Amino acid sequence: MVEISAKTGLGVNQLLEIIDLVCEMEDCRGNPDTSAEMVVMEAKRSTQEGTIVHALVQEGTLHHGDYVFLPDGLEPIRITRLHDETHTAIQTAGPSTPISFLGCKDLPSVGTLIIGTKDKTEAMTISEMRKRKEHFKHKIELALRMKRERELKEKKTKKKKKRSKNENEDDNFTSPFTWLSTQDPKTLNIWIRADCWGSIEALEKYLQEIKIPNDDFHFYIFNKDVGPVTEELIREIDHKNCFILAFNTYVDKPKQALKHVKIFQHNIIFHLFHDFI
């Protein structure tokens, strides 16, 4: 570990010696005979010169007049002015050379990798490939967005149809026997709520007199009590396949559709059983 100070210059020479030693031992060399690759060290805007990019060449050789590309750039950038670290104009820059150049319209961020080519035809080919890729990327994103919107719309439609089906389930109800034929076991749990116990006894009597067309069908009075039919009660029995007979009492019907509960309400017993049977 080397102690250094940019303010006093402490340890800078020692650090450079260690870097040279490590590079020599690890054989860290750049290939000057390939396309230029450089990393942005700093970028700023000048009112006189425009965008100035300071970079370090890592691979290859950059020439004055070469074309370079930013990672997400679609158009090639031509190097109009090339300088070294002393701001001296140069024609070429090999590996490990700090440079600054003009020509960028956008301001690249620090650490951005820039690739270059001296062949204009190759630069235009790369540009066309990137434009085509960007075009297909937008088309794919648009297609995916449309697919998500369509799936969301279909999901909402299915949910709406399901809710409508549940809400209209009572309208399609014909008789408890028809309903029982689709159930297993074929037992109908009945909850009775009425205004008084005398009404409950009358309801029980009517239920006992109902002629059941099939020996497999069974009516079972699961619960009976005086009072209103509350939403808490309905939620409690919504998983038990129950029919609620509510005579001359208040029914607090839930806002959401019920899956396993059917409610019959009336203030006249004859009409209540007419709707039920």
Domain with CATH 3.40.50.10050 in the chain: 176-276
Q: Write the pLDDT tens digit of every residue in 137-181.
A: 777 888 888 888 888 888 888 777 766 555 555 445 556 666 666
For 243-252, write each residue's pLDDT tens digit.
Answer: 888 898 888 8
Give per-residue pLDDT as tens, 172-219.
555 666 666 666 666 778 888 898 988 888 888 888 877 776 666 777
Q: What is the pLDDT of residues 31-52, one digit of tens each?
A: 888 888 888 899 888 888 888 8
**What crossing angle do the helices spanning 197-209 and 269-276 adopt, rounded to 10°?**
40
Tell me where in the chain the CATH 2.40.30.10 domain(s) lie. Answer: 29-127
Distance separating alpha carbons of residues 123 and 91, to the nearest angstrom: 19
Output the six-digit token pair for 106.
Answer: 């956008």
Confidence band for 56, pLDDT divided at 50, 70 and 90: very high
Topology classification of domain 29-127: Elongation Factor Tu (Ef-tu); domain 3 (2.40.30)
Q: Which amino acid, one-letter code, is at 43?
A: A
**Predicted TM-score of the model (pTM):** 0.42
Q: What is the mean pLDDT of the chain?
A: 79
CA distance 94 to 86: 16
Residue 15 has pLDDT above 70, yes or no: yes
Dihedral over Cα of 207, 209, 210, 214: its sign? positive
CATH number of the 176-276 domain: 3.40.50.10050
